[in-house]
Chain A
């Protein structure tokens, strides 16, 4: 007795069909997936903003959930400790990611009129990765903070609209 055999459908036949379909499927995923931004791409994007200046740790606080179920919408907040006076204020806040197809996320340009150097927004993350926030101060110094985010369902690539 062969309990698992359906008429015309053998185990060998199914395996053969699966193998034949495999290279086509593998080739398709290779084409569909665009090049991801690597940590090097993020470093380069940061360099384009910062130039040769040194980036110091501190003053910036990046609030982002350590675990995110849906990469299509990850809420995050960047706060920079600054008196926000004409003499000493934050000029810009930039957000970067490591593994999305592009390293930039958002750049906010502000001045002493803001009163408080803080931005709240929602971003897309394609994968588990490190997000970096960089603040540019009026004295020309740069400060940063980074956070790791575990993303269960990535953005950008998973869904295919018709």
Chain B
């Protein structure tokens, strides 16, 4: 199963500017607390971890719980230090793993 991730990082920024990074990934985020119509519990299937590295340095790390919505949506901030690559990584239950990247040009 391939998950679709949406990333929004400004293409250009001034050095030292605080940029807003918006991320969203397609995932059911099944809480594990629900039951099917036949009464059996539906096993938990969520994204548990998210991280973002900027030129190889971790700038943000998130632990997610079942109380996050389906298709988890996150906005965080980071300082535009240099032109480079931001790599986003999601991992979760049942060996879920997804990676996405974005480049930024810093003047």
Interface residues of A (CB under 8 A from B): 28, 31-32, 34, 72-73, 97, 100-102, 104-111, 113-116, 118-125, 156-157, 159-162
Q: Which of A34, A108, A124 lies in contact with B60, CB distance below 8 A?
A: A108
Minimum distance in angstroms from B33 CB to a CB of chain A:
4
Bound Cα distance from A24 to B78, whole angstroms: 55
Minimum distance in angstroms from A135 CB to a CB of chain B:
14
Confirm or deny: B59 has a beta carbon within 8 angstroms of a beta carbon on chain A.
yes
Q: Which of A106, A159, A161 lies in contact with B63, CB distance below 8 A?
A: A106
Chain B, interface residues (CB within 8 Å), range? 20 to 34
The B interface is mostly helix, strand or loop, or mixed, namely: strand
Known: A101-B31, A116-B18. A106 touches B68 (CB 8 A): yes
Q: Which of B35, B57, B65, B76 lies in contact with A110, CB distance below 8 A?
A: B76
| Inter-chain contacts of B66 with A (CB < 8 A) | 100-102, 124, 156
| Inter-chain contacts of A160 with B (CB < 8 A) | 34-37
Q: Which of A101, A104, A115 lies in contact with B33, CB distance below 8 A?
A: A101
Once the chains bind, are A32 and B42 in contact (CB under 8 Å)? no
Known: A116-B77, A119-B74, A121-B75. A156 touches B60 (CB 8 A): no
